[in-house]
Structure 1
Amino acid sequence: MLSQLRDLDLQLLRLFVTVVECGGFSAAQGELGIGQSTISTQMAKLETRLGFRLCERGKAGFRLTPNGEQVLAATRRLFAAIDTFKDEARGVADKLLGELRIGLSEGLATEVLERVAEAIGRFRGRNQAVQIELLTAMPAELERRLLQDQLHLAIGYFSGNQAALECRPLFRERQVLHCAQGHPLFEGGEPSLQDLQRADRVHHPYRLVQTREPLQSASSSAQTEQVDGALAFILSGRHIGYLPEHIAAPWLARGRLRALQAEALGFEVQFHLARHRGQHPGDAQQALSEDLLAAFAT
């Protein structure tokens, strides 16, 4: 009685199916590449393993016993299931699985979001079944979440002080100093550097870690890391501050904002695709990273 299926049993069952499909031992010799006596010996082994005869062979010709008919049908189902398993296993091996948590810096330009969307579209075109979570946060928060392995990837501008982060450049964003309608510097000619240094400026604590803002005025009673917060302070008419060009553009068009020494005091911020160096990237993370880099390279 066959109580456990072994590799040898599968080999014997395949021989049995071939013999049946060829119509007998003699006819199966060419297909199997072995002699009739060897085929007979192998069939006897299989029948011993099963505990019953599978076929009658002799002068009357080759024919299956009732048990043989049942084993033939069961064997064909078995091999079909094995083929299905191999196909599915092969598909799983080629399929990207799991979850991805991606952080985006708040206040990104429309064209940047379009590139991110393009990358997601490319990724979804792959053989994948990945759950993706997107969240927006301030740069310092994105950096913290990366370091605590709460994010797989993040797009933002980072302090550059964390050796634990691997950063790959994606795009640059220009920042320009602005004031709003109602501010003393809104009207008249271009203000001097001294005028700007005396003005109450919106303070960005995270950006100052990088010391990238050309105007380093000490006069500040307003503090925020968020673009929306900076815009609100500036629109109050009581503060000057830096804004990304794409954020300021609609307000400039409406006459509510004025750029201050844009050429001299404007600067660019490099945005990166970042990940934690200590976190081993899975196949899905690597694939999405490739798609993001490709989207921003075009």
Structure 2
Amino acid sequence: MSSISRTYARGMEIHQLRYVELVAREASFTAAARRARVSQSALSTQIAKLERELGHRLFDRGRHGAIPTAAGERLISRSRDALRALDGISETAHELSGQLIGTVRIGAVVGCEMPWLSTGIAGFVARHPGVALSYGEGASDGLLEGLRAGRLDLALVGHAGPFPADLTGTLLVDGPLVVLRPDSPDQEGLRGEPVRPADLKDARVITLPPGTGARAALDRTTRAAGIPLRPTFEANSGAMVIDLVRKGAGTGILAAGMVEPPPEGITVSPLSGSASSSLSLAHRPTPSTATSGLLEMLLDALGT
């Protein structure tokens, strides 16, 4: 029996496991202590005590933060399963009394302007005050990795192509890209006419940044057409893309669903051969009761 197994057999304090999981998630003892609402010295002392009992160092400390060792990775994987099970038991006990508790960490891709998202989140907070809810934004790749690593519980992500097989996704939006140009007399005859990827080669392209569904679809489309394309402007919101186009800064490219109805002063045309830009709500295959509750409220707010 390994030293880790022997320590499990003797019994391991739950708060030590939570501290280890927090350090792994935050890659920082300082940030983990802040999350746990304890002093850094108290958290470090408990992890050091656990390392002595195990006979293994769990983290390498360096300029890049706290990185799990091989023994740390093994313990973290097992402890996350154990902590989820314990949290599930606690949640079930509260459900029997008509309460919903727990923690739900939700992330959303930058550039996503969805009123139903804020409506669903606000409604969930009001209905379930016992759930600690947090929200942040980022690139889709980082959000998906956050789900896998346990840093997030639910994420609104943009993607092009198949959804990752190791996660569960609810497809919300799926559609082609469109090209946006400012209205002008010379655009009248081109209104609604498809634009080829080759037509964008010398254009000042305005679009969303990497990590969004529209950008993933654009990169996929131009690669398939053999057209190298480097956008001139990368904006974090569709509204900024539209405003820049309207004021003549360049040619915009967004998902079709982001420009319905067509904005005033803008000519909208389909992009030939466009890959689909998709938006999905993603989570791990076995979400907590609180996560499932938030997912249900978000879908209700969306009207699906």
With over 3 angstroms needed to count, the CA separation of the structure-2 counterparts of 1:169 and 1:99, relative to structure 1, is same
**Secondary structure of 1:162's partner?**
coil
User: Distance in 2 between the 1:91 and 1:121 partners?
Assistant: 20
Distance in 2 (CA, whole Å) between partners of 1:138 and 1:149 is 16
From 261, 277, 293, give the equivalent of 1:269: 277
1:169 paired to 2:171: yes
Alpha-carbon distance, 1:118 to partner: 3.9
Distance (whole Å) between structure 1 residues aligned to residue 139 and residue 94 of structure 2:
39
3-state DSSP of counterpart to 1:147: helix
SS of structure 2 residue aligned to 1:117: helix
Output the CA distance in 2 between the equivalents of 1:104 and 1:225: 16
Letter in 1 for 2:293: A
Contact 2:177/2:254 (<8 A) preserved: yes
How far 1:286 moved relative to its partner? Answer: 2.0
How far apart in 2 are the matches of 1:214 and 1:90?
50
Unaligned runs of 5+ residues in structure 1 are: 1-88
Shift in Å, 1:149? 1.8
C-alpha deviation, 1:154, in angstroms: 0.8
Provide the residue aligned with 2:102 in structure 1: 98
Name the CA shift for 1:114/1:295 in 2 (closer, same or farther; >3 Å). closer
Contact 2:174-2:276 within 8 A present in 1 as well: yes
| C-alpha deviation, 1:138, in angstroms | 3.0
State which of 290, 293, 297 in structure 1 corresponds to 2:299.
293
1:155 aligns with 2:164: no
User: What is the deviation of 1:166?
Assistant: 1.3
Q: Distance in 1 between matches of 2:167 and 2:235?
A: 21
Change (3 A) 1:267 1:223: same
Q: Kindly tell me: are residues 282 and 295 of structure 1, through their superposed partners in 2, closer, same or farther at Cα, counting changes over 3 Å?
A: same
1:242 aligns to what SS in structure 2? strand
Instruction: Determine the C-alpha separation between the residues in 2 that align with 1:212 and 1:175.
Output: 11
Query: Match of 1:220?
Result: 230
Structure 1 Cα separation of the partners of residues 274 and 256 of structure 2: 10
After superposition, the C-alpha distances for 1:124-160 in whole angstroms (9 at most, x for unaligned) are 435x511211223332332232233221101122354
Structure number with larger C-alpha Rg: 1
The separation in 1 between residues aligned to 2:157 and 2:249, in whole angstroms, is 29
Contact 2:179 2:271 in 1 (8 A): no
Question: 2:111 aligns to what?
Answer: 107
- Give the partner amino acid of 1:291: M
Cα distance per residue 1:62-117 (max 9 Å; x no partner): xxxxxxxxxxxxxxxxxxxxxxxxxxx976743211221111233334xx423651
* Structure-2 change in CA distance of 1:233 and 1:150 (3 Å): farther
Pairing partner for 1:258 from 241, 257, 267? 267
Q: Deviations over 1:221-248 (max 9, x none)?
A: 5263733675576467353231245755
C-alpha distance in 2 between matches for 1:90 and 1:214:
50
Q: Give TM-score, length-normalised by structure 2.
A: 0.50
Match of 1:19 in 2: none
> What's the offset of the Cα at 1:265?
6.7
- Cα 1:186–1:100 shift into 2, 3 Å: farther
Aligned length: 200
